[in-house]
Structure 1
Amino acid sequence: MSEHNSIMMTNRQGKTLSVQINGPENAPAIVFSNSLGTDHSMWQPQLEALKSQYRVVTYDTRGHGQSDVIKNTTLQNLGEDVIDILNALNIEKAHFCGISMGGMTALWLGIYQAQRFHSITVANSAAKIWTEEGWNARADAVEANGLSDLVASTHTRWFSDKFDYQNNVLAQQTIQSLAHTPAKGYANACRALATADVREQISSITVPTLIIAGAAEPVTTIMDGEFMQQHIKGSQLYVIEASHLSNIEQPEAFTQVFSQFIKSIQ
């Protein structure tokens, strides 16, 4: 029985999260977690490629897309939302793949909720991203002025010069999703990232871990990927010729690396 539905579910804080489920009900589950300022639709290429064999769960991270804006958000909250989604869908164990902010969520889950996951994939992310001052200043600016300044320059961070983002439908949609992200939701996520630092904890991760880095990545660099690989026992690092949103810039390469990794685990 294949299903495709979108549900609004309530997390442990009584707030609403928007969740989408695709694929056969009894197939192994994969949860995809979006980057800062995007929504679940950024995973379209991976969803299309995998939904015939997997139960694919996507969701809008709190403060993004159709999910509630929730103040005083921390990395722990981002991780607990995922556990709440698994519980609501009666999924005992899943593969988890997060990009950027979602990659930090993956690390938190690998540290604190490993029993719920077959694997974690940490794409274009780091055990600590950027600086506390930088994130807090960005949060303040977005709350004061909205997201339009960021929208105008975002393609320079998200995509490499080689990528024709202007003629790529998904890239354009994703830039639009940033324009539609609630400023308060974006700012709350920035503040969560400001204090998120799991460099000391990641060596405790024992769940199979794939790390994907972008070769042209200005934010979460290959060095960040190497740091995680050195500290997470048995983890694999794969570099894709892309910038920050590698799953959109190089969808076939991303999906191939990811699907080979999860197939090797089952």
Structure 2
Amino acid sequence: MQVLNRPWGAMHYRIDGAPTGPTVVFANSLGTDLRLWDGLLPRLSPGLRIVRYDKPGHGLSDTGGAASLADLAGDAAALIEAEAAGPVLFVGLSIGGLIAQALAALRPDLVRALVLSNTAARLGTAESWQARIDAVTDQGVAGISEAILDRWFGPSFRRSPDIAPWRNMLVRTPAEGYLAACRVLAASDQTEATRALRLPVLVIAGSEDGATPPDLVRATANLVPGAAFHLMPGLGHLPCVEDPAAYAAILNPFLAANT
């Protein structure tokens, strides 16, 4: 088990794959930990060095930090500086994709290409996130979990027994860590910074995504000249969970071209 010491505490991370291959860093969504990518990893092209980590207040990382999006990008930058010999390809989903955009804007020396999955330059509004904060403060994460799962997954997956581990992962997220990330999301707008990015970008959306609808994701792709956009039919907010083989089929050519 690997830990990077940060000003706010211990950040848990894991390295898989080739010990000396090109490094690809994965950043998770709100309410999930680095196991989000478990189904995808065996389907990635061989020879890659895969780095995953848990945001503050998620998974096995300490609760703390996450005062701003720049702080979360700083955590990612510190991990890359500690574990990569050069710029990486960074894959971020939802808030992980927002972190990816901020990292590329603040530390372009550390990022060679981006994959922005089920994310946008601005996720929701300050008012919508305050409503989420109020609901979690009142009911806990478990109290709003079914509504979140409805936004996360397409109808078929939602009705299957495979939903159980993801419900458990969500409800076991500490409320303090979940709320801290919500406050970051409420205050973050990367629109102008993302418009200024000039690097290879792949953008992925799910047609049934109730958290980041496809039109919102496509609008973010349109901010970056040359960005490629892929819509995954029938899938929701976490397509790497619902259909990891189809997700890998989109991701692998981009990784091969940019690592």
Question: Smaller-chain TM-score range?
Answer: over 0.9
2:106 is the counterpart of 1:112 = yes
2:166 counterpart residue number: 174
Larger displacement relative to structure 2 (44-53 or 130-139)? 44-53
TM-score (norm 1): 0.92
Q: Distance in 2 between matches of 1:138 and 1:60?
A: 21
- TM (norm. structure 2) is 0.94
**Partner SS for 2:127:** helix
Moved more, 174-183 or 144-153: 144-153
AA of the residue aligned to 1:257 = I
CA drift of 1:219 comes to 2.1
Match for residue 246 of structure 1? 239
**66-75 vs 130-139, which moves further:** 66-75
Counterpart position of 1:232: 224
Determine the C-alpha separation between the residues in 1 that align with 2:248 and 2:88: 17
RMSD: 1.6
Q: Which amino acid aligns with 1:212?
A: I
Name the structure 2 match of 1:147: 141
Does the alignment pair 1:74 with 2:47?
no
Structure 1, unaligned runs of 5 or more:
1-5
1:70 Cα deviation after fit: 1.4
Q: Tell whether the 8 Å contact from 2:23 to 2:84 is kept in structure 1 after alignment.
A: no
Alignment deviations for residues 71-130 of structure 1 (CA, whole Å, 9 cap, x no partner): 552111111111111122243221110111101111112222222112110000111111
Q: How many angstroms apart in 2 are the aligned matches of 1:206 and 1:165? A: 41
Aligned to 2:180: 188
**Compared CA separation, residues 217 and 152, structure 1 to 2 (3 A):** closer
Alignment partners' CA distance in 2, 1:165 and 1:31? 31
Structure 2 residue corresponding to 1:199, chosen from 187, 191, 199: 191
Deviation at 1:14, TM superposition (A): 4.7
Of 24, 30, 39 in structure 1, the residue corresponding to residue 24 of structure 2 is: 30
| Cα separation, partners in 2 of 1:206 and 1:45, compared to 1, 3 Å | same
CA distance in 1, matches of 2:140, 2:157: 27
Q: Which runs of 4+ in 1 moved over 4 A?
A: none
1-side partners of 2:166 and 2:86: how far apart?
31
Aligned to 1:136: 130
Q: Determine the C-alpha separation between the residues in 1 that align with 2:106 and 2:65.
A: 22
> Residue 220 of structure 1: which of 212, 223, 230 is its match?
212
Report the residue type matching 1:210 in the other structure.
L
Q: Partner of 1:103 in structure 2?
A: 97
- In structure 2, how many angstroms separate the alpha carbons of the residues matched to 1:80 and 1:200? 19
Residue of structure 1 aligned with 2:152, choices 136, 158, 177: 158
Q: Secondary structure at the match of 1:32?
A: strand
Q: Report the counterpart of residue 57 of structure 1 in structure 2.
A: 51
Q: Tell me, which stretches of 5 or more residues in structure 2 are unaligned?
A: none
Cα deviation, residue 177, structure 1: 1.0
Paired residues, what number? Answer: 258
Stretch deviating more after TM superposition (219-228 or 96-105): 219-228
Determine whether 1:88 maps to 2:82.
Answer: yes
